[in-house]
Chains A and B, each alone.
Chain A
């Protein structure tokens, strides 16, 4: 049986950030997740937006933590080699009714300490972002909103945490938490029992299911589905700022987002659904994204879309970040209510949770020699001829292109598989090094990557999965 000091359930943004934070101390930390890869559900399927707290509800824990966390993002990106673009955001005002919301938004931003959230006249906005609808009435400019590679945030933190001694158990579903004498004792998983002194529920969309296991669930969680389009690099009209709808009381609306990888992301919708496994894009949803985006950026060429996907944000009722240090089941810590703001908020939230646990008796004694930095996988595509020659001289597989669309080499794919918390599925490879992320969507490279994965993992090719439990790529007879 595995024994650990802290078991974190859920390898999404919050769980992995907490694991990295706790890896600084002389305790054993284990992370388990039902998925085959880190990145959770909501944490990997979003637009990678990291923004200020301008539009947050004033005075909430969420607002406080996110404000602090946003100021930590640049250092995290530097330490962990995570791509980020500081593109700023613009919310174009399209109709007179939207104009009526502007003073309230500016006032709230001021209250939240976001002093550089400003309304600019139409002419200035159009000069900054000529792709916008020329009939706008003006726009709100927020210079510190950025976009990060959301996959790499979690992967980088996980790799760094693993290097600092955290153990990751993937394809490992929590089935029950055993409490005895008012303390958590062990966790029953699909991979056996884990004895843990502390159990931290960072299960996001599924945090209510976990909370019920220790009778600490006075809330519900359902998925709020968001549908997105991803655009090809080669589309003619591209935005240089994050373009967001003017927030209304109901929704943040659709955004058009430039990304670190030069693929625009357009979305999301916000539909409350019941089924936690529902990742279906819909005709109506995609059409509504299209219409809203075109109203802001009329030149967008939707025929250049290379993918559509669904993100499921956990929607808690009642709303709001909630951190429970259980009195009924000592050692249980429940995190809930972390929604789409979680990617930005996770860095400070990890600190906050660690502090709460320390207050409740967890002894945090700092290790010597904690490794702060992690280097990313060097991308062939980003390099010039001389740098490429040097890479190939050191590793000839840097000269073997596997994904032609994104120019990803075999060396990069092997690193993605061989690193700590390495990729075991096609989607996991894709998230780490972009192989299969391009215009042909893996049509060319997936047979090659199946071959590489099988070889590296020591499994037959028909056992290679796209992702998840039974998402096998092939249907060979097992004889």
Chain B
């Protein structure tokens, strides 16, 4: 067994891990290690070859690989160790057990940052009936096959789910010569960003069927058709209005699930809503030496937010590893009316820093008031002309309010007008 010793060890060299590593190093951690199972750093951004990244973080529009490369270059320049082609298997107390072709590696750490990202929901998670032919792909797997491996996945395609990856794949497939016959969305509104609908669907005349779902898949060997039906207000398909669409490929863009199997080996439990660990504003989990950031914690809309959040994790993991992060009083943060979840789930009231609360609304609306309260006192308030569940919203609680918080903090949203 190889035994290694680090102040801060990070699992995953995607956008979250890279930003966390740089921040840990810059905040005093001397020995920082990134563990990555791929052959190079960058994570999922390597296959996200479309533009639209970095507008907030860098103030310019980059592709995924370019965004990743800026961070990866910095990691190199900072002298941070990167252990590629290595899989993390288990968290055993304060040892991260990994494996690569040289053998089992035990990484002893002062603090550990979980940055494993997420995986895609599958056909089986949705329980779509029908046969099990080849040609059913999650959008991200198709994206990898096309953008990393240079393959084609199909010629006539139906996409279920209007998430951003699904829409981006609709454009990519169209430009590569496939025919995208429809994008089908269960909800009465778009799951992803409006910008992607315009640039990926409308630009190419790809129909978007809202309040529809796929109710059957046929084909013995390869997909031969899918059956699409409208749904009623309870999301139950109206089968007598179903329509068969001949196609050879079904792509699924039906949501992401934080990839937390490693997390569970540490004994941490997961939130039923985010499917990630619960953290305070330091991105510190309920096991004090374990931090988490990025999509392993909660699925983000923009990588820019992931980078910011991960820098927070890196900074405080470095402090923890140096013995400089004492625990103060923990105040719960709850999702109130109109809010699906809030991250962080608690606030350490001893902090000397403003606290950012990130959250998603449940339904899209206009003239939305976002408000954070505690014990009747308004801590933060914001009015937006429009909100959508596809976008992450933020409220900031000023640091001078932390010491006097009168009980749990609740975030709520009220819409002037509810859309859809």
Verify A305–B145 contact, CB threshold 8 A.
no
Shortest Cβ distance from B122 into A: residue:
A441
Partner of A443, one of B140, B149, B216, B264: B140
Verify B218–A280 contact, CB threshold 8 A.
yes
Residues 372-410 (chain A) with a chain B CB within 8 angstroms: 385-386, 388-389, 392-393, 396-397, 399-401, 404-405, 407
Which of the segments A191-199, A332-340, A459-467 contacts the partner chain?
Answer: A459-467
Partner of B101, one of A396, A461, A465: A396
Verify A234–B220 contact, CB threshold 8 A.
no
With a CB–CB cut-off of 8 A, which chain B residues contact A277?
220
With a CB–CB cut-off of 8 A, which chain B residues contact A249?
none
> In the complex the two chains form, what is the Cα distance from A106 to B317 in whole Å?
63
User: Is B385 located at the chain interface by the 8 A CB criterion?
Assistant: no
With a CB–CB cut-off of 8 A, which chain B residues contact A2?
none
Verify B215–A399 contact, CB threshold 8 A.
no
Q: A400-B101, A462-B151, A477-B152 are in contact. Are A447 and B124 (CB under 8 A)?
A: no
Verify B119–A385 contact, CB threshold 8 A.
no
Mask of B236-278 contacts with A, CB within 8 angstroms, 1/0 = 0000000000001100000000000100100000000000000
Mask of B161-182 contacts with A, CB within 8 angstroms, 1/0 = 0000000000000000000000
User: Is B59 located at the chain interface by the 8 A CB criterion?
Assistant: no
User: Is B123 located at the chain interface by the 8 A CB criterion?
Assistant: yes
Residues 418-457 (chain A) with a chain B CB within 8 angstroms: 439-444, 446-447, 451
Verify B99–A388 contact, CB threshold 8 A.
yes
> In the complex the two chains form, what is the Cα distance from A29 to B97 in whole Å?
48
Verify B215–A280 contact, CB threshold 8 A.
no
Chain A: interface secondary structure? mixed
Which of the segments A118-126, A182-190, A468-476 contacts the partner chain?
Answer: A468-476
Q: A280-B130, A400-B100, A443-B138 are in contact. Are A475 and B124 (CB under 8 A)?
A: no
User: Is A283 located at the chain interface by the 8 A CB criterion?
Assistant: yes
Residues 322-346 (chain B) with a chain A CB within 8 angstroms: none
> In the complex the two chains form, what is the Cα distance from A124 to B93 in whole Å?
38
Verify A440–B134 contact, CB threshold 8 A.
no
> In the complex the two chains form, what is the Cα distance from A278 to B219 in whole Å?
9
With a CB–CB cut-off of 8 A, which chain B residues contact A472?
134, 221-222
Verify A443–B125 contact, CB threshold 8 A.
no
With a CB–CB cut-off of 8 A, which chain B residues contact A405?
261
Q: A385-B97, A443-B141, A475-B155 are in contact. Are A279 and B124 (CB under 8 A)?
A: no
User: Is A309 located at the chain interface by the 8 A CB criterion?
Assistant: yes
User: Is A354 located at the chain interface by the 8 A CB criterion?
Assistant: no
Shortest Cβ distance from B177 into A: residue:
A477
Verify B151–A399 contact, CB threshold 8 A.
no
Mask of A305-326 contacts with B, CB within 8 angstroms, 1/0 = 1111110000000000000000
Partner of B134, one of A306, A310, A389, A473: A473
Q: A447-B148, A470-B221 are in contact. Are A401 and B37 (CB under 8 A)?
A: yes
Verify B119–A439 contact, CB threshold 8 A.
yes
> In the complex the two chains form, what is the Cα distance from A439 to B260 in whole Å?
11
Verify B127–A305 contact, CB threshold 8 A.
yes
User: Is A90 located at the chain interface by the 8 A CB criterion?
Assistant: no
Verify A306–B37 contact, CB threshold 8 A.
no
With a CB–CB cut-off of 8 A, which chain B residues contact A283?
129, 215
Shortest Cβ distance from A444 into B: residue:
B119
With a CB–CB cut-off of 8 A, which chain A residues contact B188?
none
Q: A392-B99, A477-B152 are in contact. Are A468 and B264 (CB under 8 A)?
A: no
Q: A404-B87, A441-B123 are in contact. Are A388 and B102 (CB under 8 A)?
A: no
Verify B154–A443 contact, CB threshold 8 A.
no
Verify A471–B133 contact, CB threshold 8 A.
yes
Verify A447–B154 contact, CB threshold 8 A.
no
With a CB–CB cut-off of 8 A, which chain A residues contact B87?
401, 404, 407
Q: A306-B124, A308-B127 are in contact. Are A396 and B132 (CB under 8 A)?
A: no
User: Is A286 located at the chain interface by the 8 A CB criterion?
Assistant: yes
> In the complex the two chains form, what is the Cα distance from A146 to B104 in whole Å?
35
User: Is B56 located at the chain interface by the 8 A CB criterion?
Assistant: no
With a CB–CB cut-off of 8 A, which chain B residues contact A466?
133-134
With a CB–CB cut-off of 8 A, which chain B residues contact A447?
141, 144-145, 148-149
Verify B145–A389 contact, CB threshold 8 A.
no
**What is the CB-to-nearest-CB distance from A412 to chain B, in angstroms, rounded to a whole number?**
13
Shortest Cβ distance from A425 into B: residue:
B134
With a CB–CB cut-off of 8 A, which chain A residues contact B249?
475
With a CB–CB cut-off of 8 A, which chain A residues contact B106?
385
Partner of B220, one of A279, A446, A451, A473: A279
With a CB–CB cut-off of 8 A, which chain B residues contact A451?
149
Verify B101–A397 contact, CB threshold 8 A.
yes
> In the complex the two chains form, what is the Cα distance from A278 to B133 in whole Å?
12
With a CB–CB cut-off of 8 A, which chain A residues contact B123?
441
With a CB–CB cut-off of 8 A, which chain B residues contact A305?
124-125, 127
User: Is A282 located at the chain interface by the 8 A CB criterion?
Assistant: yes
User: Is A281 located at the chain interface by the 8 A CB criterion?
Assistant: yes
Partner of B119, one of A286, A388, A443: A443
Verify B131–A280 contact, CB threshold 8 A.
yes
Verify B104–A282 contact, CB threshold 8 A.
no
With a CB–CB cut-off of 8 A, which chain A residues contact B99?
388, 392, 399, 401
Verify A392–B134 contact, CB threshold 8 A.
no
Shortest Cβ distance from A302 into B: residue:
B127
Verify B89–A407 contact, CB threshold 8 A.
yes
**What is the CB-to-nearest-CB distance from A286 to chain B, in angstroms, rounded to a whole number?**
6
Verify A392–B222 contact, CB threshold 8 A.
no
Shortest Cβ distance from B216 into A: residue:
A280
User: Is B77 located at the chain interface by the 8 A CB criterion?
Assistant: no
Verify B129–A282 contact, CB threshold 8 A.
yes
> In the complex the two chains form, what is the Cα distance from A53 to B293 in whole Å?
55
User: Is B153 located at the chain interface by the 8 A CB criterion?
Assistant: yes
Mask of B100-112 contacts with A, CB within 8 angstroms, 1/0 = 1111101000000
Shortest Cβ distance from B249 into A: residue:
A475
Shortest Cβ distance from A397 into B: residue:
B101
Verify B248–A475 contact, CB threshold 8 A.
yes
> In the complex the two chains form, what is the Cα distance from A441 to B140 in whole Å?
13
Mask of B47-63 contacts with A, CB within 8 angstroms, 1/0 = 00000000000000000
**What is the CB-to-nearest-CB distance from B298 to chain A, in angstroms, rounded to a whole number?**
18
Mask of B79-96 contacts with A, CB within 8 angstroms, 1/0 = 000000101010000000
**What is the CB-to-nearest-CB distance from B172 to chain A, in angstroms, rounded to a whole number?**
14
User: Is B69 located at the chain interface by the 8 A CB criterion?
Assistant: no
With a CB–CB cut-off of 8 A, which chain B residues contact A303?
125
Q: A385-B97, A471-B222 are in contact. Are A392 and B102 (CB under 8 A)?
A: yes
Shortest Cβ distance from B140 into A: residue:
A443
> In the complex the two chains form, what is the Cα distance from A279 to B221 in whole Å?
11
With a CB–CB cut-off of 8 A, which chain B residues contact A407?
87, 89
> In the complex the two chains form, what is the Cα distance from A309 to B132 in whole Å?
8
Verify A234–B132 contact, CB threshold 8 A.
no
Verify B151–A476 contact, CB threshold 8 A.
yes
Shortest Cβ distance from A404 into B: residue:
B87
Q: 22 A-B pairs, CB-CB below 8 angstroms?
A: A280-B131, A280-B218, A286-B127, A306-B125, A308-B124, A385-B106, A386-B1, A388-B104, A389-B1, A440-B119, A440-B120, A442-B141, A443-B119, A447-B141, A447-B149, A461-B151, A462-B151, A469-B221, A473-B134, A474-B153, A475-B152, A477-B152
Other A-B pairs beyond A281-B131, A400-B101, A461-B149, 8, CB < 8 Å: A277-B220, A282-B129, A285-B129, A386-B1, A392-B102, A400-B85, A405-B261, A407-B89
Smallest CB-CB A-B distances: 7 pairs: A466-B134, A396-B101, A471-B221, A399-B101, A401-B87, A470-B221, A471-B134
